[in-house]
Amino acid sequence: MLSIIPLDIQHPPSTMATCSLVLLLRPFLHPPLQHSSTFSLHPIQSNHHNHNLKLNPFLSFTTKALTESSSDAPKSLDPPDPLFLLQQLADSFNLPSDYFSQLPRDLRLDLNDAAFDLSNGPVMEQCGQELGMTLLNISRAWESADTLTSTALVNNLPSLFNSLTSNNKSALGKRLTAAGRRFQSMGQYGQGELQRISKAMISTGKLLSSTPVTEESNEESKGETRMFKFGELQVELTREKAYIGAAIGFVYGIISWELSQGIQNIPEGTFQYANENAALIAQSLRGTLLVLFYGSTVLSAFATIGLVLLSRELKSGKK
């Protein structure tokens, strides 16, 4: 029952009476929380309740997402197997025997560029003897449009992988990536064989090029000798060979100098000629021999000096 206290309007109640009235009406204005069947009118209680309603679904969703991502993380972080990618690369080169020879002229030029990117520079130093020779033979097969030889050599790459150092793998990856981009620039041709090759080469190349190079491999690469390449001729440059070449050039220069001096010291009146034409021919021949031997002397001197400087450079390890 609600008790009503009569108030005199003309005489306002005192402060104490007002407080008593508020205390009497408080249970009806703010009922206890346990008697509220729907919601509470208390502002702090209501905000806290609404916040929980909004936050709990987000927390459950976040927890579920983190649990799923943590369970899937080991699978996504596992790198692909390089041998598997190399085998895919080998399978992409299983082409008809006349595939490269049937390419248009512009695609043949791109194929030659891919061959250059695969084997240019010190390929033997960076990739090792066996892999370097394989890459050189693959590039020659591409240049001659020999599909069968190319397929056989590329199929041999997976068997060479285990014998490669980290430096060899990184160098192979960079060369495969560069050559794969050449195949990618060829566009669509036939049944998309070129694009399948480019995709396999680029994916394999990127994986292998990310192989960390150790300090030991860097020191070994500094100690490796230079290669002189002229066409198909390759000569390994070492200090011993430079000194031997300098000695040969010095001896050849001395011989050329002695021959030129001997020809020049022959008096013109020593020989008798049948007619003036024979005399003119002899003088012309004498002048030609003098120019030839003097020129050989000068070239031998330059070659000797150059080889001596090269041997010192190889000794100091400069590049």
* Model pLDDT, residue 231: 56
Within 8 A by CB and 6+ apart from 182, the residues are 110, 111, 113, 114, 117, 198
Q: What is the dihedral of CA 140, 143, 148, 151, to 10 degrees?
A: 70
Phi, psi torsion values for 227, nearest 5 degrees: -120, 130
> In the prediction, which pLDDT does 1 show?
43
- 135 burial via Cβ count (<10 Å: 0-12, 13-18, 19+): buried
pLDDT in tens, 114-143: 999 999 888 888 898 899 999 999 999 999
Contact 139, 119 (CB under 8 A): yes
pLDDT the model gives residue 264: 83
The pTM score is: 0.48
- Rounded Cα distance, 316 and 292, in Å: 36
Provide the residue type at 247 as one letter.
Answer: A
Side-chain half-sphere CA neighbours of 198 within 13 A: 17
pLDDT in tens, 215-253: 554 444 444 556 665 555 566 677 888 888 889 999 999
